[in-house]
Structure 1
Amino acid sequence: MHAAVIGLGTHLPPRLVTNGELAARFDTSDEWITSRTGIRTRHWAEPGTATGDLATEAGLRALKSAGLAPGDIDVVVLATTTPDHPCPATAPDVASRLGLGPVPAYDIAAVCSGFLYALAIGQAQIAAQQAGTVLVIGAETYSTILNPDDRTTSVIFGDGAGAVVLAAREDTDRPGALLGTHLGSDGAHKDLIRIPAGGSRYPTTAYTPEADRYFTMEGPKVFRQAVVRMGESATTLLHRIGWVAEKVDHLVGHQANARILTALAGQLDIPVERTVVNIDRVGNTSAASVPLALAHAARQGRLTPGDRILMTAFGGGLTWGSAALTWPDITPL
């Protein structure tokens, strides 16, 4: 059996945070933020709104997009860096709130690569005939882990959720087919993207410096790693499935930085106008980035059933991954 995308749903919290709002806080300017990141606005959850809330709404919309009832889902895989609690996982609660019944539901943590990792897991569950349908969600509330005094991270990240429904198909000829995935990691560079405190390596105590409780990133080093790793992963996948770069209709890269997306397109020799970009509107939404970008392009009317879509992402760990599919005949909700 093969996996196919049959539904897509997204959700952004209503609070819109502009560059102007952040410029006033950090004594910077809209031009400084835009020129370095490509971001103009991002959405942040209101206090009391958690990742599970965003994931539940995106999951509900994905089910409606697919035309499925809650009882039709066999497995839930939730990718997130910002779970509702360190323990338990957020996915079982999301499954319960969606009314899915006692289905397997679990979180995975691969930071910004998380959605593609979850997609690969969903594909494998279907290929092994362990599931006929899988709800794959990427959801984040990064605003809850950002240092409010750190300009370099606070202007970049946004909150949001995106979800797809995968279903078993006997062939890959129909639009929506997930044709392949490629994943990788390099823990030798784990310190480039991290939250120092809060785990078993460095438990949080009353004496933990406040800055160590927040997300940190070494931007220039991450930039270089991201372009190289995503490029290598995407190229490996193209060879694996027999695609050539010039036949890719749309490149959907992780929305980390507008300059990374441009550099990635150049490295892959894909015309930059085929790159999907929505970072200007939502910022870096980590595990939610790729499905939000897909939905954005679909709503713009850019995606036609059968179009060849190449997705790739890079995140902390370090982790990276790519996936390829032909665009399905669906309406994102």
Structure 2
Amino acid sequence: MMHHAKFSAFGSFAPKKILNNFDLEKIVDTTDEWIRTRTGMFERHICSPEEAASDLATQAAINAIEASSVKYKDIDMIICATISGDHPFPSTACIVQHRLGMKGFPAMDVSAGCTGFVYAVETARQFVENGTRQNVLVIGVDILTKITNWQDRNTCVLFGDGAGATILSRASSSDISRIIDVEIVADGSQGELLIQQAGGSRNPASHETVDKNLHTVYMEGNKIYKNAIKSMYSSSDELLRRNHLSTQDVDWIIPHQANLRIIEGLADKMKVPMSKVIVNIEKYGNTSSATIPIATDEAIRNKKIRRGDIILLTSFGAGLTWGSILARY
């Protein structure tokens, strides 16, 4: 028997410390006007030296569970999307499982860059729909400020830290909420456009890799910009066509919060007004796999997104990866 999966609830968490554009003016050669004009960002949340991905992920998970009708004992799987986990191993999902006082079920990480949350939701959906899991905790968390090159004014202004979570549950026959469809894609031939070059088995940590800043984010911004709009449009358009829907049927679009220009470019290409697009980039910057669940959680708590609304979540990231989720919340 095939089951349907649904979003039970969302939760999010960001560190207390805030770094705004005027603070950045003191660190690198930039201005508030330059950052706002090119990115739409004003401030971003920054982890303290003691904070790690699992700290943020655990709190986001607690907030999601508390916002739902799902009990802690009913969670039967954890999938964590991250590229900046506490350690290469064990997985951040396993650490969160322990922090939540849980055990005895699978927990794993998914690595798909900024598209990680979309990939993790699609992975969780398979387990719920095939009947093997009932309530999967899905988390998107990244601490990009710890792998940021603070000498590169083009990239250091972009990133913030944060975590967002959802519970993907089995929908009952009377539920209006359900995941309608998901599309995830990758093109590994363009992986060099967005990469952390050192720290893995290709370039293990050494004095040389540290001196050359190879443990930080490297990005070819212009090529990423063009790819981002085209790819998010492609996966979103595919979902709508496959399900015989148009953008007019969609109540809210929640895109990855990478850059306001990209978001506006996507809205323009999709021919939807910005009034239907959820944007919170000014307050958080780009938190990678956390942007979509944070933005969705805020929109639900602000009573923008309501039960029964058709929502379209779409993202793009390292890999290169991209994907979209079509759901009735």
**TM-score bucket of the superposed structures, by smaller chain:** over 0.9
Residue matched to 1:185: 186
Alpha-carbon RMSD: 1.2
Answer yes or no: is the 8 Å Cα contact 2:115–2:321 preserved in 1: yes
Give the letter aligned to residue 143 of structure 1.
T
Which residue type is aligned with residue 16 of structure 1?
I
Match of 1:80 in 2: 82
SS in 2 for 1:213: coil
Aligned equivalents of 1:102, 1:151: Cα separation in 2: 46
For residues 285-324 of structure 1, give each alpha carbon's deviation from its aligned partner in whole angstroms, at most 9, with x where no partner exists.
Answer: 1000101111222233212221110110000000001001
Within a 5 Å distance, the mapping from 1:168-247 to structure 2 comes to 168-171=170-173, 174-208=175-209, 209-247=211-249
Alignment of 1:132-147 (within 5 A): 132-147=134-149
Q: Secondary structure at the match of 1:119?
A: helix
Query: Do 2:195 and 2:318's aligned partners in 1 also have CA atoms closer than 8 Å?
Result: yes
Secondary structure of 2:208's aligned partner: coil
C-alpha distance in 1 between matches for 2:220 and 2:258: 13
Give 1:206 shift: 2.4
Cα distance in 2, alignment partners of residues 252 and 35 from structure 1: 21
Q: Identity over the aligned pairs, expressed in percent? A: 38
Aligned residues of 1:246 and 1:269 also touching (Cα < 8 A) = no
Of 121, 124, 128, 2:123 maps to 121
Structure 2: unaligned runs, 5 residues or longer: none
Query: Which sits farther off after the overlay, 132-141 or 289-298?
Result: 289-298
CA distance in structure 1 between the partners assigned to 2:176 and 2:47 by the alignment: 35
Give the superposition deviation at 1:239.
1.5
Counterparts in 2 of 1:282-301, with a 5 A limit? 282-301=284-303
Q: TM-score, normalised by structure 2?
A: 0.97
1:331 is aligned to none
Alignment partner, residue 29 of structure 1:
31
| Kept after mapping to 2: 8 A contact 1:19/1:33 | yes
Letter in 2 for 1:48: E
User: Which aligned pairs between 1:252-291 and structure 2 lie closer than 5 A?
Assistant: 252-291=254-293
Q: CA deviation at 1:170?
A: 4.1
The CA distance in 2 between the partners of 1:144 and 1:210, in whole Å, is 16
- How many Å separate the matches in 2 of 1:165 and 1:272? 28
DSSP-derived class of the 2:47 partner: coil
Residues in 2 aligned to 1:8 and 1:250: alpha-carbon distance in whole angstroms: 16
Asked if the contact 1:71–1:101 (Cα under 8 Å) also holds between the matched residues in 2, the reply is no
Q: Is the 8 A contact 2:179 2:326 kept in 1?
A: yes
Distance 1:154 1:69 in 2: 40
Alignment of 1:40-189 (within 5 A): 40-171=42-173, 174-189=175-190
Q: 1:71·1:99 contact (CA, 8 Å) conserved in 2? A: no
Cα displacement (A) at 1:164: 0.3
SS at match of 2:148: coil
Paired residues in the alignment total 326
Question: Which whole-Å CA distance do the structure 2 matches of 1:285 and 1:25 have between them?
Answer: 20
Tell me the SS of whatever aligns to 2:132.
coil
Given that 1:95 and 1:103 are in contact with CA atoms closer than 8 Å, whether structure 2 keeps it comes out as no
Deviation of 1:207 after TM superposition, in Å, equals 2.5
Is residue 171–residue 177 contact of structure 2 (8 Å, CA) maintained in 1?
no
Aligned to 2:170, what secondary structure does the other structure show? strand
Answer yes or no: is the 8 Å Cα contact 2:28–2:150 preserved in 1: no
Say if 2:310 is the partner of 1:311.
no
Scaled by the length of structure 1, what TM-score is found?
A: 0.95
Report the Cα distance in structure 2 between the residues aligned to 1:296 and 1:61, rounded to whole angstroms: 12
Asked if the contact 2:29/2:153 (under 8 Å) is kept, the reply is no
What does the per-residue CA deviation read over 1:26-73, in whole Å, with 9 as the maximum and x for residues that have no partner?
Answer: 132100110000000100001110001000000111111113332110
Per mean C-alpha deviation after superposition, the further-off stretch among 217-226 and 240-249 is: 240-249
Distance, in Å, in 1 between the alignment partners of 2:297 and 2:89 is 31
